[in-house]
Copies of this chain bind each other. A is one copy, B any other.
Amino acid sequence: MAHVPLDSILKGDCIEQMRALPDASVDMIFADPPYNLQLKDNLQRPDQSLVAGVDDQWDKFDNFAAYDSFTRAWLFEAQRLLKETGTIWVIGTYHNIFRVGTAMQDRGFWLLNDIIWRKTNPMPNFRGTRFTNAHETLIWAAKTADQRKYTFNYNALKAMNDDLQMRSDWLIPICTGKERLKKNGKKAHATQKPEALLYRILMAASRPGDVILDPFFGSGTTGAMAKKLGRHFIGIERDDGYIAIARERIATTQKLDEEALGYSISKRQAPRVPFGQLVEAGLIQTGTTLYDSRRRHTARVRADGTLVCRDMTGSIHQIGAHVQGAPACNGWTFWHIDKRGDLVPLDRLREEMRAASHA
């Protein structure tokens, strides 16, 4: 059967290129297909400047039927290429994601989750006519309904999330700053995805050495993160310009060392809530005594959010580590308050705080 070209970008139409690859040859697929935006006119900001919207040819379809037919064709090949334990991720917005999801179910993929990428910094709705479009949706699915042995690194993701089960809503900034690839001072690709998003996806649903296919490779975020995390990639892209920037980008990306690959922690988490903020808000009184889960250690809270324990003062993490004689400690889960005899972890109070500040 056909050769599987690892760590390279195949130039051409994604369906044709996928057809040339052998059955059951990839461990994970990440697909960022055209969203089929139907933009009628130019959009101006309140200051009269023009929004640089997506006007690329690759996002033009005549109608829903044409888009559906395209979607079914590439999904058919994607399913054929997946190994039995493989999973697929597809990203989109309300313009296309319902059609993609329907096509996936019809094709026999088994949906595992829909994941919401919440943007910290979305583009506002300039006209005040709708809600700020502040998220995109990912669908995560196994090859078939009876396939239960898909790759999912449950514990790694729990560790990335302060020892809480990772939820289906992920807060990640859009791709800006140094990470955003530029060409002649302008954005090189209209829809470059943030590396943190691919980082989390690859950590969740693949293992080092796995083969990752991205049939809509674009600026190559999937390839760069695959290399960084010690996975192999196959990219498919038909635009020479995009291929060139992706090649250069991946060439300058470093693979993490073996040790880091075992313990990688996400840099970007849910909005940070300092412990002092709980004190400031009155959720925790100064002078309150904190306990570990078995009441073997105690410490008291000061007004600035530090703890005192015997003659030591420091953060909830530092004091937690100190009393255990451990090199490090997650103070949020280590320390508890006594609520009518029950021990409640600080982490629960933080959750309440986050909820209150958003509601």
Complex CA–CA separation, A134 to B104 (angstroms): 22
A48 within 8 A of B: yes
Given A165-B125, A359-B171, A359-B172, do A116 and B135 touch, yes or no (CB 8 Å)? Answer: yes
Q: Is the CB of A129 within 8 A of B116?
A: no
Q: Is the CB of A152 within 8 A of B165?
A: no
A70 within 8 A of B: no
Oligomeric state, in copies: 2
Stretch at the interface among A51-59, A78-86, A91-99, A180-188: A91-99
Q: Is the CB of A128 within 8 A of B266?
A: yes
Q: Is the CB of B135 within 8 A of A169?
A: yes
- A28 → chain B, closest Cβ, in Å? 15
Main DSSP-derived SS at the A contact region: mixed
CB-contacts of A144-191 with B (<8 A): 148, 152, 154-155, 157, 165-169, 171-173
Q: Is the CB of B166 within 8 A of A64?
A: no
Stretch at the interface among A9-17, A105-113, A248-256: A105-113
- A177 → chain B, closest Cβ, in Å? 14
A339 within 8 A of B: no
A326 within 8 A of B: yes
Q: Is the CB of A102 within 8 A of B113?
A: no
Chain B positions within 8 Å of A99 at CB level: 98, 101-102, 105
Interface residues of A (CB under 8 A from B): 48, 64, 93-95, 97-102, 104-106, 111-116, 118, 120, 122, 124-125, 128-135, 137, 139-140, 148, 152, 154-155, 157, 165-169, 171-173, 204, 266, 326-329, 351, 355, 358-359
